[in-house]
């Protein structure tokens, strides 16, 4: 049996090679030396013109997904000018790239084909000088000049072509599906070699622009500290929250150091800390008014004019689409809203036939919350984390709109959390005009350290209930034991 399988594999490989050899003139036309990397590169299926078309098409979609553009023309011009400076040091100074700041508290950055570079205000809040922000932008420029998107796309198509031929030769759908799955996984993220390549190019551009190349490493250290603190605040002690820039760009300070050596970068350039801090002074920190505000266990939305309070022990995380809560017990909750296509449908029928049409519902309960009709029901589901008891609650705010709560608990904790969940639903309410007027976003404020100030005394001025000193140290990139100097500019968060 082993010999037969081996023979079939050999025949399939020979057929694949023959098919690819037939297409060789076309494929080899897409091979060439990339002027940025100096390496032979295969980009047959996505030309530079097509890259710009794809980027122009996807750019507005990405902006919308991340909360839109941050509404600060001066800050947008600052980031655009910094990006343009770095682009001029690259092997692709024309056509002009597009550099924008996204209105998102996440620490993240993206580059689309054709030179669309995005940084979030959350990332800008965490950076501590112009060189650190420039390092992020330079890295994203590196992905563009190295044409990593075109490379991934072209390799993905070739892998797909090879899978189709292989499946056809041996008439095995499983082989074909498996190969396609592998190809899809390849194009979903940058490879390690591409990340190192983008770092090498980023360090090159950073140095050419006169910045200190070590800024890329120092910012990665700050991001690592921020991820670890986020894990602790969410109850995952000892576990870093691998999200944002770490998820899309898996890198370490050691790898950046290697990239700097490969680029033969000169260290000790400009950091421009004070210039940068004055640029971000007053910037919104955390949630934007369009997404509502999380304050500890409380959530309030100034535009929708609603509010609720989560049970003790829940850590809330806000986003454009939903508020998500996690609990040390493994329980989770989600709050969002939905638009009803049929305004005449009853709330119960919506819950049973639209929202939860694929599960059997029990413990049905009809009531009112702050004068609004409410329908709740339960079910039990099997998830990747195990069996979960689920409670669904739909609150009818208008004929065409419902607010929805989703609770999932491990069965052993369902009873103890039942009353807290009910209390959370009961806390859901509409806000009056004055209550709404009092809701304002948090903002970054840059202050000068006075004699006698410490990290703890300055952190006490920030409107957080926990981890104040730790938040202050991470926000300012302070290493353990590092002390403040009188006259030094630092960031704090104020209401």
Number of domains in the chain: 3
Assess if residue 286 is contained within a domain.
no
Tokens for 234, please give them: 């969410």
Assess if residue 470 is contained within a domain.
yes
CB-based burial of residue 25 (10 Å sphere; 0-12 exposed, 13-18 middle, 19+ buried)? exposed
Same domain, 182 and 236: yes
Task: Please answer whether residues 477 and 495 qualify as being in contact, where contact means their C-beta atoms are separated by less than 8 angstroms.
Answer: no
Residue 2: its pLDDT value, please? Answer: 35
Same domain, 57 and 145: yes
Q: How far is it, in rounded angstroms, from Cα 465 to Cα 22? A: 67
Assess if residue 424 is contained within a domain.
yes
Between residues 16 and 446, the one the model is more confident about: 446
Same domain, 272 and 309: no
Q: How far is it, in rounded angstroms, from Cα 437 to Cα 454? A: 34
Range of the domain at 489: 442-494
Q: How far is it, in rounded angstroms, from Cα 167 to Cα 180? A: 10
Q: What is the CA 485 to chain-centroid distance, rounded?
A: 34
- Per-residue confidence band for 257, with pLDDT thresholds at 50, 70 and 90: low
Residue 448: its pLDDT value, please? Answer: 97
Q: How far is it, in rounded angstroms, from Cα 147 to Cα 111? A: 11
Q: How far is it, in rounded angstroms, from Cα 352 to Cα 44? A: 50
pLDDT exceeds cutoff 70 at 439: yes
pLDDT exceeds cutoff 60 at 199: yes
Residue-wise pLDDT for 284-307, tens only, equals 999 999 999 999 899 999 999 999
H runs (alpha helix) in 89-172: 121-126, 130-145, 148-170
Task: Please answer whether residues 107 and 120 qualify as being in contact, where contact means their C-beta atoms are separated by less than 8 angstroms.
Answer: yes
Task: Please answer whether residues 28 and 136 qualify as being in contact, where contact means their C-beta atoms are separated by less than 8 angstroms.
Answer: no
Same domain, 370 and 489: no
CATH code for the domain in which residue 462 is found: 3.10.350
Backbone torsion region of residue 371, taken as left when φ is above 0, otherwise alpha when ψ lies between -120 and 50, otherwise beta = left
Between residues 309 and 20, the one the model is more confident about: 309
Same domain, 142 and 202: yes
Same domain, 123 and 201: yes
- Which residue bears the tokens 């413990």? 363
Same domain, 259 and 323: no
Q: How far is it, in rounded angstroms, from Cα 16 to Cα 246? A: 37
Q: How many other CB atoms sit within 10 Å of the CB of residue 238?
A: 7
Task: Indicate the helix (H) or strand (E) that contains 222.
Answer: helix 215-233
Task: Indicate the helix (H) or strand (E) that contains 298.
Answer: strand 298-301
Q: How far is it, in rounded angstroms, from Cα 395 to Cα 403? A: 5
Between residues 353 and 159, the one the model is more confident about: 353
Residue 261: its pLDDT value, please? Answer: 63
Assess if residue 77 is contained within a domain.
yes
**Would you say how long the chain is, in residues?**
495
Assess if residue 288 is contained within a domain.
no
pLDDT exceeds cutoff 70 at 20: no
- Which residue bears the tokens 């509502």? 292
Average pLDDT in the 421-433 region?
Answer: 96
Same domain, 416 and 340: yes
Pick the last residue of a domain from 211, 246, 280: 280
CB-based burial of residue 22 (10 Å sphere; 0-12 exposed, 13-18 middle, 19+ buried)? exposed
- Per-residue confidence band for 384, with pLDDT thresholds at 50, 70 and 90: confident
Average pLDDT in the 355-365 region?
Answer: 92
Assess if residue 422 is contained within a domain.
yes
- Of the CA atoms within 13 Å of residue 421, those in its CB half-sphere come to 27
Q: How far is it, in rounded angstroms, from Cα 402 to Cα 195? A: 44
CATH code for the domain in which residue 346 is found: 3.40.1000.10
Same domain, 484 and 429: no
- Sort strands 362-369 and 332-339 into parallel, antiparallel or unpaired: unpaired
Residue 178: its pLDDT value, please? Answer: 31
**Percentage of the chain modeled with pLDDT above 90:** 57
Assess if residue 287 is contained within a domain.
no
Tokens for 184, please give them: 């899809």
Assess if residue 228 is contained within a domain.
yes
Average pLDDT in the 2-10 region?
Answer: 39
Q: How far is it, in rounded angstroms, from Cα 19 to Cα 161? A: 10
Residue 436: its pLDDT value, please? Answer: 93
- Per-residue confidence band for 470, with pLDDT thresholds at 50, 70 and 90: very high
Same domain, 262 and 390: no
Q: How far is it, in rounded angstroms, from Cα 356 to Cα 367? A: 19
Average pLDDT in the 411-421 region?
Answer: 95
Same domain, 337 and 467: no
Residue 269: its pLDDT value, please? Answer: 83
Residue-wise pLDDT for 135-188, tens only, equals 999 999 999 988 877 666 544 444 333 333 333 333 433 333 333 333 333 234
Same domain, 173 and 46: yes
Residue-wise pLDDT for 26-46, tens only, equals 444 455 556 555 555 534 456
Find the largest Cα–Cα distance for the chain.
Answer: 81
């Amino acid at each position: 049996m082993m010999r037969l399988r081996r023979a079939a594999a050999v025949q399939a490989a020979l057929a694949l090679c023959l098919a690819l050899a037939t297409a060789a003139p076309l494929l080899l036309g897409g091979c060439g030396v990339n002027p940025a990397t100096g390496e032979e590169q295969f980009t047959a299926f996505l030309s530079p013109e097509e890259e710009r078309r794809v980027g122009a098409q996807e750019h507005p979609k990405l902006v919308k997904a991340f909360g839109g553009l941050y509404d600060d023309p001066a800050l947008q011009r600052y980031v655009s000018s910094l990006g343009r400076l770095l682009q001029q040091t690259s092997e692709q100074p024309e056509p002009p790239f597009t550099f924008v700041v996204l209105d998102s508290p996440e620490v993240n950055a993206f580059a689309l084909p054709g030179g669309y570079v995005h940084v979030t205000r959350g990332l800008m809040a965490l950076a501590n000088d112009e060189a650190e922000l420039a390092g992020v932008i330079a890295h994203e420029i590196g992905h563009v000049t190295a044409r990593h998107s075109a490379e991934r796309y072209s390799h993905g198509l070739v892998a797909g072509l090879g899978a189709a031929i292989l499946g056809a030769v041996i008439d095995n759908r499983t082989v074909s599906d498996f190969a396609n799955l592998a190809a899809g996984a390849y194009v979903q993220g940058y490879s390690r070699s591409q990340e190192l390549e983008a770092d090498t190019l980023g360090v090159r551009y950073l140095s050419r622009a006169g910045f200190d190349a070590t800024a890329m490493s120092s910012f990665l250290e700050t991001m690592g500290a921020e991820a670890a603190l986020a894990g602790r605040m969410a109850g995952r002690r000892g576990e870093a929250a691998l999200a944002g820039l770490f998820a899309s760009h898996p890198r370490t300070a050691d790898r950046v150091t290697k990239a700097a050596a490969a680029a033969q970068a000169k260290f000790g350039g400009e950091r421009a800390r004070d210039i940068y801090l004055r640029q971000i002074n007053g910037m919104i920190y955390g949630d934007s008014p369009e997404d509502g505000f999380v304050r500890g266990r409380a959530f309030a939305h100034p535009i929708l004019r609603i509010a609720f309070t989560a049970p003790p022990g829940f850590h809330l995380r806000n986003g454009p689409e939903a508020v998500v809560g996690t609990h040390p017990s493994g329980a989770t909750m989600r709050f969002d809203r939905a638009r009803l296509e049929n305004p005449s449908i009853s709330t119960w029928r919506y819950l049973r036939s639209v929202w939860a049409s694929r599960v059997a519902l029990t413990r049905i309960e009809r009531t009112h919350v702050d004068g609004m009709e409410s329908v709740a029901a339960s079910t039990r589901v099997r998830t990747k984390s195990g069996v979960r008891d689920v409670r669904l609650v739909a609150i009818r705010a208008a004929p065409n709109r419902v607010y929805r709560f989703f609770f999932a608990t491990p069965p052993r904790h369902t009873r103890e959390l039942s009353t807290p969940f009910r209390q959370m639903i009961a806390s859901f309410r509409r806000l009056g005009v004055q209550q709404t007027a009092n809701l304002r976003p948090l903002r970054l404020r840059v202050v000068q350290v006075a004699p006698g100030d410490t990290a703890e005394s300055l952190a006490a001025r920030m409107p957080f209930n926990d981890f104040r000193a730790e938040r202050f140290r991470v926000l300012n990139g302070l290493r353990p034991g590092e002390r403040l100097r009188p006259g030094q500019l630092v960031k704090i968060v104020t209401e």
